[in-house]
Chain A
């Protein structure tokens, strides 16, 4: 479906002129998953940080070495019990949107638009040079450039890992093998925390890029249609 490009025309009398182009970039299911996921990710991070406040440390309780004192104002739930309610409720929404999104991408073939593959590798460095070192802008031929594909593919992996590490922390007996894979229960909790920050880093970069790419790009995640695409 994506890849459909239309010309936008305006007719006055007998005259029809092309006033712009638009590309259908985001199928409805992807847009739904994106926004539901944005909300659930917000809740998961906020409540996760409140949960972290109950024991802001890793390793032994005695002696406890606190890692950071996360301000309560930037957390969700108010107290440990409340935060757990949010976390254990929205994790199902988070997982469900992830499963629906991945299932849709795979079965529709839409993943080809965004999956980072070997042929994207040569395009990564020019894009990095453009974004971070004022290099020339590489020619844009598709909805996602190689660096974007890299980011969007990586963050899906991070999402899967956030769930896997979460289950290792939440169910260390029933899924003891998960904890074992991660280097033990302590490490599972550390990974869960690290992956959260990696996702936060992605979201930060994502929001910067959204701001830089302007209104049409933002609207495309709402309507599916990107007006005047660069390619």
Chain B
């Protein structure tokens, strides 16, 4: 049907080889089906100049041009268009009633991946003393107030939950543990970062001291300024996770969270709670964290 019907204006490189002499040509060929057939090996690029640019997939793809009735072509085009329907599924994100839960699931998936990516033996980069910013240039972010007025003399860390030795731990008890100092990068969720010098006890060693059940899922902390945070156990046991009582080799200042804060170079800034007052080892948390409960990532490992 198509043979002999070639438009005269067809360019030479488009003039396709005529149908196989051995095979009868179907009357109307469906070009979509046509693809499924292997290209006949004897198909040659009809372009006389091989140096010319190739057709999309040359030369085997220069298949016999078949013909198709205009109405069939319109129908085929419509079907091809309908095959794009799965794209509309993304429209669910535009539906107000679905959007929050979809985004929550997306964030939860990201957290799940983050937890898989976390390697307990992998250390955050540490830096030379010369790379640490001066103490005065270490930024301060409070969610509420710079100084919740902690009474240092009567301060203690109240330990509860899945531990053998619950109770109130004075600062000197925590400071009796080996002190670690590290120059690490503090990264804020806002996008800025700062290399600082932190010192304190390893949370893992404190957890050992209080006889914590480290198969529990979380270490939950509460703070003097009503801030609260939940730390996954894997991160709590990481060697760079510190119960931090000093910065720049000096006792923590009030605005940096005195007398005790968390320093976790494998986590974003908001996980590193200041002014700690309570610590609980637990498998369930009613509320996860001050920012997390407003929609920020729960795991946010770096």
Q: Footprint of B on A, CB under 8 Å?
A: 1-11, 16, 18-25, 28, 31-32, 35-36, 39-40, 43, 51-52, 54-55, 57, 60-62, 64, 80-82, 84-86, 88-93, 109-110, 112-113, 119, 123, 141-144, 170-174, 176, 185-186, 189, 219, 222-225, 231
Contact = CB atoms under 8 A, between A and B. Distances in A.
A142 B139 CA distance: 57
Contacts of B190: 54-55, 80
A11 B69 contact: yes
Contact of B77 (A5, A176, A225): A225
Contacts of A186: 193
Interface residues of B, number: 78
A90 B191 contact: no
A10 B73 CA distance: 10
Contact of B67 (A7, A143, A174): A7
17 contacts: A4-B65, A8-B69, A57-B191, A80-B189, A81-B294, A88-B297, A92-B109, A110-B57, A142-B56, A172-B125, A174-B117, A174-B301, A185-B185, A222-B81, A223-B77, A224-B80, A225-B80
A1 B60 CA distance: 10
B269 to A, nearest CB: 11
Nearest to A25: B56
Nearest to A172: B302
Contacts of B70: 8-10, 19-20
Given A60-B137, A81-B295, A225-B80, A112 B68 contact: no
Contact of A9 (B35, B68, B106, B265): B68
Given A54-B190, A172-B187, A92 B110 contact: yes
Nearest to A119: B53
A188 B283 CA distance: 37
Interface string B70-90: 100100111011011011001
Interface in B9-63: 11, 13-14, 16, 31, 34-35, 52-58, 61-63
Contacts of A2: 56-57, 61
A231 B14 contact: yes
Contact of A55 (B117, B122, B188): B188
Nearest to A109: B57
A20 B302 CA distance: 57
Contacts of A28: 80, 83-84
B56 to A, nearest CB: 4
Contact of A173 (B66, B77, B265): B265
B110 A88 contact: yes
A27 B235 CA distance: 46
A7 B57 contact: no
Contacts, number: 211
Nearest to A18: B7
Interface of B: 1-2, 5-7, 11, 13-14, 16, 31, 34-35, 52-58, 61-63, 65-70, 73, 76-78, 80-81, 83-84, 86-87, 90, 93, 102-107, 109-110, 114, 117-119, 122, 124-125, 133, 136-139, 185, 187-194, 265-266, 291, 294-297, 301-302
A171 B302 contact: yes
A185 B265 CA distance: 14
A173 B109 contact: no
A2 B139 CA distance: 57
B106 to A, nearest CB: 2
Nearest to B292: A81
A166 to B, nearest CB: 12
B31 A39 contact: no
Given A3-B55, A5-B14, A89 B107 contact: yes
Contacts of B193: 61, 185-186
Nearest to A123: B53
A138 to B, nearest CB: 10
Contacts of A86: 103
Contact of B191 (A91, A109, A144, A189): A189
Given A16-B1, A89-B103, A3 B57 contact: yes
